[in-house]
Amino acid sequence: MLGWMCPDGTQWRQGSPDGLDARRYGVWVQDAQDAGSRREESGRNTTVSDAGHFFADVVKAIYGLRQSPRAWYQKINTFFNNYDFYRSSQDYSLYINYDKRILVLVYVDDPVLAAAEKEDIGWIKACLTREFEMTDLGELETFLGLQIKRDRDSRVLTLGQHKYIDRILLRHGMQNARPAMTPLDPHIRLPAHTKRDNLLSEPEGVSLELYQSAVGSLMYAMLGTRPDLAYAVGLVSQFNHSPKREYWIAVKRIFRYLVRTKTFVLQYGTSNDSGGYSDADWGSGYDRKSVGGLLFLLNGGAISWASKKQTSIALSTTEAEYMGMTQAAKEILWLRVLLEEIGAFKHIAPMSTLNADNQGAIALTRNPEYHARTKHIDIQYHFIRDLVTSEKLDLHFCPSGEMIADIMTKSLSRPTHDKHTQAMGLTDQE
């Protein structure tokens, strides 16, 4: 018979914790020997119930408890504070030591180290080893499913996910599928949902679990290194709750596109192209909401991208573009602070350029003359006017044919799709 209790010792229960959240409570012990060993290790008393069952309270965070992630973060944060690391205000998993010029990015218990000198890498490794049990995996080659390669001679960095893509193709039986040239067919429009569709759990023989698993697998690839998938994945994910046969065909086409492009990688350092791009496709959603897209380049490669349906219906193309530019302006402010914290502006110009392909929207940010036509726009979207007035943001007109963010808002023909894919730093490394 197992016993268990609250960590503060205020409550004891015996028997199985079925129906209760045992993760909030203490360690279970089965016999007196186990209880005694725990008492000796912790220096705290175990308790014996009237029925003779033993239990012990928790004195350290362990895996499985609700507070374990918080306890671990507090410990690692204290460690870096003790060694004069500054925690980024924009990303709490990034720590910076300005004296030694060291960057540490922490994902749970996997730190990635970067420094200007190898001696400083050795110093932080030694500090970590003294405090934690560590395994040194050497120079970074893989991280969270990403393959990282550095060409020091040409100063080019590449990020790819071909191993992960091979796995998801195999998992969904698409490894031998006929390759597709684009993620979506630009000549086919997916049907809208109806109220009847919402009542069907698995309509037309489409497995809900399989559909959601496939979309989730594609989304991880898109978030890692494949901005060319952003619009397609965003579109099919809108139907996760009730997929139709047409939606499943669209998902399989994305997999078929990956069969052709699984060796594509993002490259940085091939050019000095930097800046942001914002675009919107007015009223393209089945609910008549517009789709906005943004993309930011640094040293020739994409570092931030998004394709998202706007929350309100725009009354004109200008209005849709204006709202999309505001979302991009918020992203560029975040990126600028982050890049400044890691010292990037010692080597590159501060990121302040945003490209848009709608002259009316650009004029709207600089001149409030159109008040009668725009007073219905939510006040949050006028945030961009202050940025332009204070010269924190520099808006440039970009011809529609050169608008890279166009790939984030609609399905394109192959020539246009390939052109924008190459412009965002994606290249075939086969």
Average pLDDT over residues 44-67: 56
Q: Check pLDDT > 70 for residue 23.
A: no
Q: Check pLDDT > 70 for residue 425.
A: yes
Which pLDDT belongs to residue 379? 63
Rounded Cα–Cα distance for residues 273 and 423 (Å): 9
The three-state secondary structure class of 39 is helix
Banded model confidence at residue 197, pLDDT cuts 50, 70, 90: low
| Inter-residue contact 222 to 307 (CB < 8 Å) | no
Closest alpha carbon to 65 in 34, 17, 110, 21: 21
Classify residue 409 as exposed, middle or buried by CB count within 10 Å of its CB (0-12, 13-18, 19+).
Answer: buried
Residues 6+ apart with CB under 8 A from 204: 244, 245
Residues 6+ apart with CB under 8 A from 379: none
Which pLDDT belongs to residue 193? 64
Banded model confidence at residue 51, pLDDT cuts 50, 70, 90: very low
Closest alpha carbon to 365 in 388, 332, 381, 397: 388
Per-residue model confidence as pLDDT tens digits over 205-238? 578 889 999 999 999 999 999 999 999 999 999 8
DSSP letter at 132 equals: S
Per-residue model confidence as pLDDT tens digits over 59-68? 666 666 777 8
Residues 6+ apart with CB under 8 A from 168: 217, 218, 221, 255, 258
**The tokens 């080659």 sit on which residue?**
141
Per-residue model confidence as pLDDT tens digits over 90-141? 989 999 999 999 999 999 888 999 998 889 999 999 999 999 888 888 888 8
Question: Which H or E run includes 96?
Answer: strand 94-97
Which pLDDT belongs to residue 370? 57
| Inter-residue contact 43 to 73 (CB < 8 Å) | no
pTM: 0.80
Got the DSSP string for 301-329? Answer: EEEEEEEEE-SS--SSHHHHHHHHHHHHH
Rounded Cα–Cα distance for residues 64 and 224 (Å): 28
The encoded tokens of residue 142 equal 């893989």
Got the DSSP string for 135-202? Answer: ----S--EETTEEEEEETTTTEEEEE-HHHHHHHHHHTT-TTSPP-SSSS-TT--PPPP-HHHHT-SS
Per-residue model confidence as pLDDT tens digits over 296-328? 999 889 999 999 998 888 888 888 898 899 899
Rounded Cα–Cα distance for residues 122 and 344 (Å): 23
Rounded Cα–Cα distance for residues 236 and 245 (Å): 12
| Inter-residue contact 295 to 425 (CB < 8 Å) | no
